[in-house]
Amino acid sequence: MLLASAHVIDPDAYLSEAQVEERWRFLKPGEMRRARKKGLVAFYAFPNGPHYTAEAVQEYLDRSYHRSAAWPNESKRETNSEAMPSDGNSAVTTSKFLTPIAAVSTTPVAMTPELALSAAEACVQRMARKQSKPSSPSSRPRRHAPQANAQDQVRS
C-alpha cells in the first residue's frame, strides 16, 4: 500500500549534509550526521546519501537550540477557562504555564525586607565602630617567645 503525500517536495529542496552545513554555517561539522544517527532529525535515506528538507533542519534547530523566555508575559496569558483541568493531584496536574514553586531568596526564613535592611544597617555600623577603635591588647595576636632547645635547658 502506497502512502499519498500531502504535498510534493521539489527535488532541489532536498539538501545533503554538506549543503546543510554550508547553508547553516553555525552548525558544527558533522553535527547533522550525529543528529541523524541519534534520531534527532528527520531525513530521507536516498541511495546517494541522506538528505534533509529545510523544514526538518529548522525543526531540529528549534528543538536543539531555541530558548524561550523563562516566564510568559502576563498580558499574553490565556484565560483560566483555557487552562488544563486539574483534580488537585500533583502527579497528574498539568499546566500550560511555568509557575515558580518558591521564590528564590537570600534572606533567612520569615525575615521581611525591612528587617533585612535594618540588620544590614546594624552590621555596617558595627563594622565601622570596630574599624575606628584601636585594637585592644586581647584582640592582638600574641607573640610567643622562641622556645629554648632541650640542650639549652640542660645547660642552664
pLDDT of res. 114: 77
Nearest-angstrom CA–CA distance, 97 and 46? 42
Residue 95 has pLDDT above 60, yes or no: no
**Mean pLDDT on 52-67:** 92
Map out the domains of the chain as residue ranges.
Answer: 11-65
Summary mean pLDDT of the chain: 74
| Higher local confidence (pLDDT), 143 or 54 | 54
Work out the burial of residue 116: count CB atoms within 10 Å of its CB; fewer than 13 is exposed, 13-18 middle, 19 or more buried.
middle
1 — pLDDT class (breaks 50, 70, 90): very low
**Mean pLDDT on 69-91:** 54
Model's pTM, two decimal places? 0.41
Whether the CB-CB separation of 52 and 71 falls below 8 Å is answered with: no
**How far apart, in Å, are the Cα atoms of 24 and each of 9, 28, 143, 150?**
20, 9, 70, 79
Question: How many C-beta atoms lie closer than 10 Å to residue 57's C-beta?
Answer: 21
